[in-house]
Each structure stands twice: as C-alpha cells, then as structure tokens.
Structure 1
Amino acid sequence: MLLTRHTLLRTKPVEQLADEGAHTKLKRSLGLLPLVSLSVGATLGTGIFVVLGDAAPEAGPAVVLSFVLAGLAALFSALSYAELAGAVPVSGSAYSYSYATLGELVAWICGWCLLLEYGVSVAAVAVGWGEYLNSFFESTLGFRIPDALSAPPGDGGVINVPAAIVVLLATVVLLGGIRESAAVTTTTTLLKIGVLVFFVVVAVTGFRSGNLTPFSPMGLSGIASGASLVFFSFIGFDAASTAGEEARNPQRDLPRAIVISLAIVTAAYVLVALTAIGAVGVDTLSSSKASLAAVLQAVTGTGWPATVLALGAVIAIASVVLTVLYGQTRILVSMSRDGLVPGLFSRVNRRAVPAANTLLVGIVVALLAALVPLGQLAEATSIGTLVAFSLVNIGVMVLRRTRPDLQRSFRAPLVPITPLIGLALCLWLVAGLRKETWLAFAVWSVVGLVVYFGYGMRRSRLNTPRKGGATGADAAP
C-alpha cells in the first residue's frame, strides 16, 4: 500500500460512526444512573485510596490544591468529552472522536494511549487493592500476606498475587454480561461513597489546623508536581463515553453522566484530602500505602474504624478494576471494527460480550499488576491520559469548524476558549512528569507506530470502498 499524507490523515465520517453505533451488536441497556455509576466507579478511589500518600510529600498540605488543579484540567477536558460523546455516541471514546476529526494516524496514537491509560491504570489500582487487603487482614486476623507474594519485583516482592486475583475476578464478572456488570458497579459505587463519607466524619474529629502549616512548602512547582501525580486519580470520568453503544439514550445521557461524575469525584477528593492531612499531617499520611486506614487508626486509637475503611476499600477499589477494565475492552472493540487491530477483539458471544477480547485483556493486565511497581504504573497512566485528553480538546475545535451543522446534544461553552484552556492545562501537567515516565511513553509510542505501519494501516476498513465507489476517507468532510 502506497503511504501518502492522504492515507495518514483520512478521517472516518461521523455519519459512518453513528451508523455503526446504531447497528451495534452490543446490548443497549444502560440509563443515566448506571452511566454515572460507571464513571464514578472507574474514578473514585484510585487517587484517594492509593495515590494520596505518594502525592502529599510533593506539595505538602497544598496537595489539596493539587487535586483542585487536576480537577480543573479534567473539567475543561470533560466539557469537550461531553460534546463529542453527544455528537458521536459510539464505544471508542477519544479514539473514535479523533478518527472523526484528526485522521487515522492521530486516532491510532490516541487509541494506543488509551490502551496504556486503561490497561495500566487497572494494574496500578489492583496493586493498591492488595495493600488494603493486607491492612484488613492485619486488623482482623493479625497477619499479612508475605511481601514475596503481595508485592512486585522492585518493591520487595516476587509476584503480587492479590493484584492479579482481583483483575481476574473482574474479568469473570465482565464475561457475565453488561447488565450484571452494571448492577455490581452501581452497588459498589454507592458503598464506596458511603465509606468515604464515614472517613470524613471520623477524620474531622482529629482535625488540627497546625497540620496544615506550612501550607505550601514547595510553592507552585510543588502544587503542579502533585497535580501531575494525582491526575491519575481523575482517570475514569470518561468511562461513560466508552459505553456509547450500550447506553439507551446516549445523546442525552452520556454528556450528563460525564459532567455529573466529575463533580462528585472532585468534591470527594478535596474533602478527603483536606480532612486526612488536617487530622495527621503529611508525614504520617505518606508513611503507609494504605494511607486512609492509617489516618483513622491514628485519630481514633482503635482498630475498628480502620478495619471498616479497609474492608470498604477492598470492595470499592475492586469496582474500579471492573469498570476501567470494561472501558479498555470497548475501545478495543472499536479499533478492531475499524480493522486497526485483529477482528478477534470485536467478536461478541450470545451474551453480547466481546469474550475473547475481555479474557485476553484480563490476563495481560493481571500480569502487569503482578509484576510492575505501583509508582511506575501511576505515572505511565497519567501521560497516556493527558495525551488522549489533549486530542479530545483539539477534536472539539476541529469538528466545530468542519461540521458546524452536526447535531450536538451538548455544546461546550465558550469554544474555543474552554478546549484551549483544557489543552494548555494538560500540556502543563505533562511537563511536570519525570524523565523516566517520558522515556517509557516514548518506547510505548514507538511500539505503537510499528504496529500501526506494520498491521493497522494496511488493514484499515477505510481502504475498502463503500457503496458508490468512495472510500471512507473520500467521504469524509
């Protein structure tokens, strides 16, 4: 196949995407509440239960502002997601939006970043889940799973068995069907919110204003560095956009679910971070990976509140694994349907589940969770997410120019100002990541380009003539 600029920049018509979504083999069964639960379930818990203790030393008590800054970056991107989710209601999330606006090569890069975002974040959260499982065992049964079996190489262990187990359990639930998965997600999300409310009520009894001084010992650079790290905790608010072909009324409900879920998550993070630091200070918070359980232990002097929190975290973090794993499988469905990855990933069984896709993803992520340390996973996830968010912000501006006539159930306000702010904040946060993270991302990107030029470009469905003799690229606006 002759490589040309036209080939790399060919776009997939919005009408073609919409038609594929309308004739999906997936089952449309999700209303607004399950969609909000999907996004909140995929987001709430990852940062607060896992990353807060790591981020606090970066910014001091001002890590609260790091959450606010990361939330603002997510908000401007969320408005762009909401507009595109209502205009292009398909399963591919930012990948499909980029395909419709920026061309096939950019869409591939975005999809490749999303595979990093979703797959690696699942593994990172699974690692944190193992820490809270050990905390629960310590407070109730008086023992820990040995480090050799509960930590990966590089963190003092050999293999993280609990992390692998929770990923495989989530895989089994997903294989049961979307309706069953949604019921589990809604239940665990409500439990998760209840556990965090319990934490705030207990932790505020130990609040000391002196624990907040000096408030920002590292200055603005520390706040920005903290925001780059905790941005990991906002990954997942876009999970509803991966359910575009399983929502009953996607044009109406997807934009609402994205904005509502981000508001819930940001409020929860700020409240929990503020009360945690106010109760015990940064040093105590950063001394334990199961940091919130340690806060309650320190505040009350008794073990039962920490036990309640640890049990809630075990269940709640498991729901994050479930929902984010779901999102990755649906992105692969879209990429496979476009011919960019093998057709195996888009085949569904009698339950309308992409079974082979789900099983393969579950096994790969379980291996990552078992063998890679948490810190490296969290930062690698952040850079993939920020790149994808940047492309979504650009996509809104492009689609406004190329398709002003397109029906949009939600319109981001003050375009192009809001997506430009979202883009600038994403680039700022990316700049705050470490060199090692950039190196890992560069290697991942090179591998992705090799796969695209060696496989995806040649097998793209846009190479196949559509009715009337035009390819999808020729039909693009």
Structure 2
Amino acid sequence: MLVVTVDTHRGIGLAQGTALYVAAVLGTGILLLPALAARAAGPAAIVAVVALAVVSVPLASTFAALSTRHPDAGGVATFARRAFGPTAARVVGYWFFFGTPIGAPVAAIMTAQYVVAIIGGDRATVIAVAAGLVIVPAVVTVFGVRFAGWVQLLLSGALMAILVLALAAASPHVRAGNFTPFLPHGLGGVGVAVSLYIWAFAGWEAVAGIAGEFSRPRRDIPRATALALAIVAVAYVAIQTVVVGVLGPRVGSSDAPLLDLVSVGLGRGGGVVVACVAVIVVVGVFNAYFAAFSKLGAAMGRDGDLPAWFGRGAERGGIARRGLLLSAALMTVYFAVVAWLPDLQPVILVHTSLAAAIYGVGVASALVLLPRASLGWWMAALSCLLVLGLLVLAGVNLVYPLILACAAVLVRVVARLRRGVRQTREMPAAADAVAPAVSGSAAPASHD
C-alpha cells in the first residue's frame, strides 16, 4: 500500500491555487465550445462569451468571499449547511458529487477528438483514448491536493504558451467577412450560446472545495480568483473571436476548431502540438476536479451525507483517497453512458444546469452568511439576479438537478425513519435493563 507523508501545516500558495482555479474554470471548453457556440449563434457567440465573463465577476467574487470566510472541503455544501441546514447541504452535495461527474467523459471525449484527428482512427479510437485520459489525473490526486497544485502550475503554463502561439499565428488570417451576418440565428441563438458557455465559466463551485487547502486563504483566495477570472475571460474572448474570424462558416461543423485554427496558421505540424497540449489540458482539468471531488466526498462522509467510511481526509492536508475512489467509480459509470451518444451538446446542457443550480444555492447562502451591505453581500445580491437568468436559460434541463434533489431528500427521510425505528426498538431493551437496577436499589430500603 502506498503511503505518502503530508505536512498538514502547509497548504497551497497563490501560484498553485491560481493554476488550479484556471484549470477548473478554463477547462476543456477551449477545445470544442467555440464551434458549438458558433453553430448556435454565429459570430454573435462572441457576445455570449463577453456576457458570461461579465456575469462571472460577481459570481467569482461571491464564492471568493464565502471561501475566504468558510474554507472547508465541503465547498458549497458547507455554505448551504451553515445557511439553510443539513437538507440543503445534502442536496448540493448530491448535485456536485453525483451529478457533475457527467461532464468528465465529455471533457475526455473532446480531447480525444483532437488526438484522433492527428493519429487517425474511428469513433472507437476516440473512446479508447478518452478512457485513458482519466487515469493519469486520478493517480496524481492520490498524492494529495498540494502535489496536484504543483503539477497543475506546470500544465497551466504550457496551456497559456500554446494559446498565445496559436492565436498569434492565426490572427493574420482573420477576415472581416466572416463576421457577417453577425446575428444569423437571432437572440435565441445567443441564449443557447450563453447556456453552452456556462460550461466554460463554471468551476467556481468546484474550487470552493479546495479553499481549505490554502496556506493563507484570506489573502490568497481573492487574489487567485481575480487572476484566474482575468486569464479565463481574456482567453475565451480571444479564442472565440479568432476562431470565427479565421474559420468563418466552417467553424460550426468542426470537431476540432482549435486544431483547424492552428493548422491555418502553422500548417499541419502545428496541429500535432495542439493535440499534445489538449491532452495536457484535460489532465489539468481532472487534476482540479478530482481534488475537489475527493475532498467533497470526504466532507460528505464526515457530515453524514455519505457513509462515515468515506470521511477520512477531509481535514487540510489530508488525502481523501476514499472519496477519490468513489468519484472515480461514478465517472466510470457516466463514461459508459456518455461514450456512445452521437451528440455531446445535451450532456453539456445537463452539466451546466447542475452548475446553475449549485450557483443558485451558493449565492443564496452568501446573502445569509456574508455581512449585510458588505461588498461580498452586494456581489451576492447581483449574482442572485444573474443566476436566476441562467436558471431560466437552463429550462427543461433542470429536470436532472430536480431528480437528484428528490433523491437526496428521500435518502435523508429514509435515514431518519430507520434511525427512529432503531431507537424505538432499543428503548424497551434499555427499560428492561434499568428496571432490575431500580428494584435492586430499592430493596435495601424496605428492610430499614
């Protein structure tokens, strides 16, 4: 059995935290979202990116304020528990732990499409490559969040370098004609693009779970949040703009838009570099999410929302291998379901609806937990309005979060009923044990 010694008095710093935040938020969306958004909204997909970047400012600020005041492995579930009680915490925990892993196979398949575009192969090859991409970050997380943070710092640096190279090489090929008509599918298309791009700007709910791993959370969490948000916003606006400007109508039918973009600027050899970096990107994303999933699983075991056996590793510096094991099993199940779907867009919309629901509870918790009229509180109030809009856009896709919420409440009700039945059965036995003692202690008094 592998034993790793961890210094529990030291946590992650600003650079590691920023790298993990960037990985969780930027994610694999750069690989496919520009094409999906352009398919839905045409060049107006750029508006969708800018809108989500603006929306993300109060959202990111709210979660930074909450994480600074309540750094814990439970993340948003902890915020909900403090604000609304254990039932709300269980619902949020179920949404995140049992729901959002559905995005893992999507991220892996997006990346595998890039690799297969270079090495060649069919759909089965895509699935095989995608399955292999999940193993490395799971192994990295076995060594703990601090180790994952150092690995992610290297990966995020590589990602930024390749993005700058790709955009610089492709920019001279931008054509003004590719931006007209700007709004071919109306405002409804922009709304769909916004819903898709929630995938890109979701992640603050995930990294809330690693807030407890910061050495100096009050100083570094706000800074890491601001740096990550700026990096992600600039990256997505630049990528969407250049992709539309260079590829034009072709972008909507592309399975690998970033690969096509770099091929225009650097030739096919540049595409090989992008495919390799795509693998690095997905490993980085899973680094951040496996860390968050494992810590949340441990927190749920600690708080009674999962069997207590999973509770080991919730403390800062602890390695939540049991939570990691369960989250890996869940991803495997989702992978088996998603791998054979012909279209990933419905799965992305389900994932983003879960993110919107988690955000809704998170920002509502902030209104309760943050000092009234503070900057964080006002950011939370604004976020409530923005999240309401995201929930409206999610529409029928909110059925999935609703199903998970019902399951969480049902499990809690059943657990209470079983506990009540057990206590009722134990009461007669306890009474029988007390009665002889009472009669025995009274017997000597009768002889006096």
TM-score range relative to shorter protein = 0.7 to 0.9
Q: In 2, distance between residues paired with 1:220 and 1:123?
A: 30
Q: In 2, distance between residues paired with 1:131 and 1:355?
A: 30
Tell me the matched-pair count.
410
**Which one of 380, 390, 393 corresponds to residue 429 of structure 1?**
390
Distance 1:33 1:439, change over 3 A: same
Which residue does the alignment assign to 1:388? 358
Distance 1:447 1:119, change over 3 A: same
SS in 2 for 1:244: helix
Segments of 4+ in structure 1 off by > 4 A?
A: 24-27, 456-459
SS in 1 for 2:213: coil
What amino acid does structure 2 have at the position aligned with 1:443? I
Q: Does 1:455 pair with 2:415?
A: yes
Q: How big is each residue's C-alpha offset from its partner over 1:373-424, in whole Å with a ceiling of 9 and x where there is no partner?
A: 43233111111111111222212211246x89xxxxxx535x43x3232122
Which residue does the alignment assign to 2:217? 250
Superposed displacement of residue 244, structure 1: 2.4
Superposed displacement of residue 289, structure 1: 2.0
Q: In 2, distance between residues paired with 1:34 and 1:239?
A: 15
Residue identity over aligned pairs, in percent, reads 25
Q: In 2, distance between residues paired with 1:201 and 1:175?
A: 38
Q: In 2, distance between residues paired with 1:112 and 1:447?
A: 8
Superposed displacement of residue 255, structure 1: 2.2
Instruction: Pick which of 123-132 and 300-309 moved more.
Output: 300-309
**Which one of 197, 210, 230 corresponds to residue 263 of structure 1?**
230
Q: Which has the higher helix share?
A: 2
Q: Is the 8 A contact 2:97 2:327 kept in 1?
A: no
Q: Does 1:33 pair with 2:22?
A: no
Q: In 2, distance between residues paired with 1:181 and 1:397?
A: 32
Q: Which runs of 5+ in 1 are unaligned?
A: 1-23, 138-142, 151-159, 405-410, 460-477
Q: How big is each residue's C-alpha offset from its partner over 1:202-244, in whole Å with a ceiling of 9 and x where there is no partner?
A: 2211100110111122233222221011111112244442222
Correspondence 1:297-312 to 2 at 5 A? 297=263, 299-300=264-265, 302-312=267-277
User: What TM-score results when the alignment is normalised by the length of structure 1?
Assistant: 0.80
SS in 2 for 1:210: helix
Superposed displacement of residue 61, structure 1: 0.6
Superposed displacement of residue 274, structure 1: 0.3
SS in 1 for 2:250: helix
Superposed displacement of residue 73, structure 1: 2.2
SS in 2 for 1:432: helix
Distance 1:457 1:235, change over 3 A: farther
Which residue does the alignment assign to 1:103? 85
Superposed displacement of residue 69, structure 1: 1.4
Q: Does 1:284 pair with 2:284?
A: no
User: What TM-score results when the alignment is normalised by the length of structure 2?
Assistant: 0.85
Q: What is the root-mean-square deviation of aligned Cα atoms in Å? A: 2.6
**Which one of 351, 357, 378 corresponds to residue 348 of structure 2?**
378
**Which one of 192, 195, 209 corresponds to residue 159 of structure 2?**
192
SS in 1 for 2:212: coil
Q: In 2, distance between residues paired with 1:33 and 1:117?
A: 29
Distance 1:306 1:35, change over 3 A: same
Distance 1:233 1:210, change over 3 A: same
Q: Is the 8 A contact 1:276 1:292 kept in 2?
A: yes
Which residue does the alignment assign to 1:446? 406
Which residue does the alignment assign to 2:35? 53
Which residue does the alignment assign to 1:327? 292
Give the structure with higher Rg (CA). 2
Q: In 2, distance between residues paired with 1:387 and 1:349?
A: 24
Q: In 2, distance between residues paired with 1:289 and 1:49?
A: 9
Q: In 2, distance between residues paired with 1:456 and 1:169?
A: 40
Distance 1:323 1:457, change over 3 A: farther
